[in-house]
């Protein structure tokens, strides 16, 4: 059976783009953290939407599951193969779906293949005098298709929204091999039927395979100002975000870091801790057409935190302050090693309560654990890193207890178990904490309607239904 399928896949994309050798497959079969891995029948690399459709049709006929993969930068295991029955799945890599541009000036939209990296798309936008608003650390590998499939957020969502708000159109292949297009002609207004594209955004490759997008660009705002503000209590950090956001139109980054993370990252970078050891630190970045430094400084004065603020004097200073935030994950990995990470969201009004209680709650499941909490303050999106006293086995009972404890607290605070990383294979069991039985039933109804055989990324996104 396998030979016939592989022959059909080779006929669809060319034999050089069906990777079956273990060495060639290996990089696609394991996520970058090493936490999730599995065996694929093959890695298949179609070159255009028509080839994606052909690949899906071959798999549908053969009952072979499909794991779509972009830059393989996901954090919840949704992009690497897992055990499927009766056959192993294929990995459908979007790497060759790399058509890019040109930028359409009249609509400020950038058409691009799903496999284009965020960094390449950002460069294309900037070369055309505009900017692509979404930004995150994995920009050199993460692809537009993956960002769309996961409704990525990142650093600047507080101003520009998540991927959903920036995707003007998309083209995708459904589970039966059919091609759908949603607003791919650049028309902003189009109310002819349900917006299937909007449904696919954030569906993690389980309802269709995104092949191309039109990304809405924004004005280029090259003048920046960055400040770090040390505060004594999490309530002060939240209050500062609540106050600055409406008052400072140019604000586009508003991040939170705790003392443990600041100390670790400063140590890792070999610099003095710029917070001076404060319990909490808020990082702010403004972007505008003209220098927003005075505006930022004045807003900090009015907020009564002028004396606790450290404002970058120049580009080098701005980069240094931003690096302290962006290198948190690296620092934790280098200094502590493995940690149990949670990407959660809590309404801003409940964030202080959540952060205050999460340490005790985590330690009830993992005695002696230390915590590092940082994230996107203005979005109520925090990354809780639990550094256990002893290594925690992946998939073992202590990890499950931690999941239940931390995500249970999230639910108690009215939050979401996934703010920006998605559900993947990590969190399907916890979806019930943020979504009602009726909502999960409706999601399953949609899944079964569009993928009745369950071939698209099985095991991802939804609890067993």
What residues from 84 to 123 belong to the interface with a second copy (CB under 8 A)?
105-108
Q: In the complex, what is the shortest distance from the CB of residue 111 to a second copy, in angstroms, rounded to a whole number? A: 12
The Cα 46–Cα 52 span in angstroms is: 6
316 counts as binding a second copy under rule CB under 8 A: no
**Binding to a second copy in span 42-81, by CB under 8 A:** none
**Binding to a second copy in span 247-306, by CB under 8 A:** 249
**Binding to a second copy in span 379-398, by CB under 8 A:** 379-381
In this chain, which of 146, 153, 388, 458 binds a second copy, going by CB under 8 A? 153
DSSP letter assigned to residue 186: S
In this chain, which of 170, 207, 340, 456 binds a second copy, going by CB under 8 A? 207
In sequence order, what are the beta bridge partners of 376? Answer: 381
Q: In the complex, what is the shortest distance from the CB of residue 58 to a second copy, in angstroms, rounded to a whole number? A: 17
Burial 102-128 (b: 16+ CB within 10 A, else e): ebeeebbbbbbbbbbbbebbbebbeeb
Task: Supply 104's token pair.
Answer: 């359409």
In this chain, which of 225, 321, 340, 450 binds a second copy, going by CB under 8 A? 450
Task: Supply 72's token pair.
Answer: 């393989």
438 counts as binding a second copy under rule CB under 8 A: yes
Unique residue bearing structure tokens 């890695």: 43
How many residues sit in the footprint of a second copy (CB under 8 A)?
82
In sequence order, what are the beta bridge partners of 342? Answer: 384
Query: Which among 245-253, 263-271, 303-311, 359-367 is the span making contact with a second copy, rule CB under 8 A?
Result: 245-253
Q: In the complex, what is the shortest distance from the CB of residue 422 to a second copy, in angstroms, rounded to a whole number? A: 5
Is the Cβ of residue 216 or residue 275 nearer to a second copy in the bound state? 216
Is the Cβ of residue 126 or residue 164 nearer to a second copy in the bound state? 164
Is the Cβ of residue 297 or residue 446 nearer to a second copy in the bound state? 446
Query: Which among 87-95, 112-120, 239-247, 323-331 is the span making contact with a second copy, rule CB under 8 A?
Result: 239-247
219 counts as binding a second copy under rule CB under 8 A: yes
Is the Cβ of residue 117 or residue 426 nearer to a second copy in the bound state? 426
442 counts as binding a second copy under rule CB under 8 A: yes
**What is the contact mask toward a second copy in residues 173 to 202, using x (rule: CB under 8 A)?**
-x-x-xxxx---xxxxxxxxxxxx-xx-xx
Is the Cβ of residue 106 or residue 393 nearer to a second copy in the bound state? 106
26 counts as binding a second copy under rule CB under 8 A: no
Q: In the complex, what is the shortest distance from the CB of residue 189 to a second copy, in angstroms, rounded to a whole number? A: 4
Beta strand ranges found along 45-161 (DSSP E): 66-69, 90-93, 109-113, 130-131
DSSP letter assigned to residue 134: -
- Pairing label, strands 218-219, 42-44: unpaired
155 counts as binding a second copy under rule CB under 8 A: no
Q: In the complex, what is the shortest distance from the CB of residue 166 to a second copy, in angstroms, rounded to a whole number? A: 9
- Pairing label, strands 209-216, 109-113: antiparallel
Beta strand ranges found along 30-174 (DSSP E): 42-44, 66-69, 90-93, 109-113, 130-131, 167-173
- Per-residue CA distances from 112 to 55, 107, 274 (Å): 20, 15, 40
Please name which of 72, 79, 44, 209 lies closest in space to residue 142, comparing C-alpha atoms: 72
Query: Which among 20-28, 260-268, 397-405, 414-422 is the span making contact with a second copy, rule CB under 8 A?
Result: 414-422
Is the Cβ of residue 178 or residue 390 nearer to a second copy in the bound state? 178
In this chain, which of 71, 292, 345, 458 binds a second copy, going by CB under 8 A? 345
The Cα 64–Cα 44 span in angstroms is: 13
Phi then psi for residue 300, to 5 deg, are -65, -40
In this chain, which of 346, 355, 361, 392 binds a second copy, going by CB under 8 A? 346
Q: In the complex, what is the shortest distance from the CB of residue 259 to a second copy, in angstroms, rounded to a whole number? A: 24
DSSP for 384-451, please give it.
EEEE-SS---TTSHHHHHHHHHHHHHHHHTT-BS-SSS--TTTSGGGHHHHS-HHHHHHHHHHHHHH-
Please name which of 352, 372, 137, 359 lies closest in space to residue 266, comparing C-alpha atoms: 372
Query: Which among 39-47, 301-309, 392-400, 416-424 is the span making contact with a second copy, rule CB under 8 A?
Result: 416-424
**Binding to a second copy in span 123-152, by CB under 8 A:** 129, 150-151
Query: Which among 8-16, 21-29, 61-69, 374-382 is the span making contact with a second copy, rule CB under 8 A?
Result: 374-382
Contact 407, 342 (CB under 8 A): yes
Q: In the complex, what is the shortest distance from the CB of residue 276 to a second copy, in angstroms, rounded to a whole number? A: 27
């Amino acid at each position: 059976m396998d030979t016939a399928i592989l022959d059909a896949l080779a006929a669809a994309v060319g034999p050089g783009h069906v990777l079956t050798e273990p060495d060639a497959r290996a990089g696609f079969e394991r996520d970058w953290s090493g936490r999730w891995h599995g065996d694929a029948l093959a890695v298949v690399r179609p070159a255009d939407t028509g080839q994606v459709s052909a690949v899906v049709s071959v798999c549908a006929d053969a009952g072979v599951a499909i794991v779509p993969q972009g830059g393989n930068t996901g954090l919840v295991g949704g992009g690497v193969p897992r055990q499927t029955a009766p056959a192993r799945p294929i990995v459908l890599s979007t790497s060759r779906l790399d058509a890019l541009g040109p930028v359409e000036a009249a609509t400020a939209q950038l058409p691009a293949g799903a496999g284009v990296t965020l960094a390449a798309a950002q460069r294309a936008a900037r070369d055309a005098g505009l900017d692509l608003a979404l930004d995150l650390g994995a920009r050199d590998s993460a692809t537009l298709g993956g960002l769309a499939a996961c409704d990525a957020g990142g650093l600047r969502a507080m101003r520009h929204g998540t991927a959903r708000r920036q995707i003007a159109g998309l083209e995708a292949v459904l589970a039966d091999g059919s091609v759908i297009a949603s607003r791919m002609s650049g028309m902003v207004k189009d109310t002819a039927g349900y917006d299937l594209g909007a449904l696919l955004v954030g569906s993690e490759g389980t309802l269709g395979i995104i092949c191309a997008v039109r990304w809405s660009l924004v004005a280029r705002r090259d003048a920046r100002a960055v400040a770090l503000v040390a505060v004594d209590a999490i309530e002060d950090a939240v209050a500062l975000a609540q106050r600055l956001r409406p008052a400072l139109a140019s604000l586009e980054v508003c991040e939170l870091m705790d003392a443990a993370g600041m100390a670790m990252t400063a140590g890792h970078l070999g610099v003095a801790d710029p917070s001076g050891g404060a319990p909490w630190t808020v990082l702010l970045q403004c972007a505008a057409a003209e220098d927003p430094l005075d505006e930022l400084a004045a807003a900090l004065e009015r907020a009564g935190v002028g004396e606790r603020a450290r404002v970058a004097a120049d580009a080098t200073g701005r980069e240094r302050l931003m690096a302290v935030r962006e290198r948190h994950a690296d620092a934790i990995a280098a200094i502590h090693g493995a940690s149990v990470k949670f990407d959660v969201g809590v309404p801003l009004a409940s964030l202080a309560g959540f952060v205050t209680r999460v340490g005790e709650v985590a330690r009830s499941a993992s005695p002696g654990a230390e915590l590092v909490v940082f994230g996107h303050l203005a979005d109520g999106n925090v990354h809780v890193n639990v550094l256990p006293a002893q290594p925690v086995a992946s998939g073992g009972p202590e990890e499950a207890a931690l999941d239940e404890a931390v995500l249970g607290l999230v639910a108690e605070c009215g939050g979401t178990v996934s703010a920006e990383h998605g559900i993947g294979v990590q969190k399907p069991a916890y979806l019930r904490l943020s979504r009602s039985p009726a909502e999960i039933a409706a999601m399953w109804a949609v899944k079964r309607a569009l993928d009745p055989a369950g071939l698209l990324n099985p095991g991802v996104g939804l609890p067993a239904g």
